[in-house]
Amino acid sequence: MPKSEELEPKPEVYNIYSMDVTYIGDEDIKLDRVEVYRDDPSTSYDIELFTATGDGDLVIEKNSEQPSIGHQNFPISTKATELKVIITWKSESDGSRKYKEEFTFKQ
H-type alpha helices, the chain: none
Chain segment 43-88, per-residue pLDDT in tens: 999 999 999 886 654 445 555 566 778 888 889 999 999 999 999 9
> By C-alpha distance, which of 35, 2, 30 is closest to 95?
30
pTM for the model: 0.79
Point out which residues pair with 23 in neighbouring strands: none
Residue type, 24: I
Higher pLDDT, 99 or 94: 99
| Residue count of the chain | 107
Domain boundaries along the sequence of the chain? 14-106
Position 37 scores a pLDDT of 96
Fold of the 14-106 domain: Immunoglobulin-like (2.60.40)
pLDDT 10s digits, 12-22: 899 999 988 88
Among 4, 5, 8, 33, CA closest to 21? 33
Distance CA 69, CA 60 (A): 5
Q: Which residues pair with 104 in a beta bridge?
A: 84
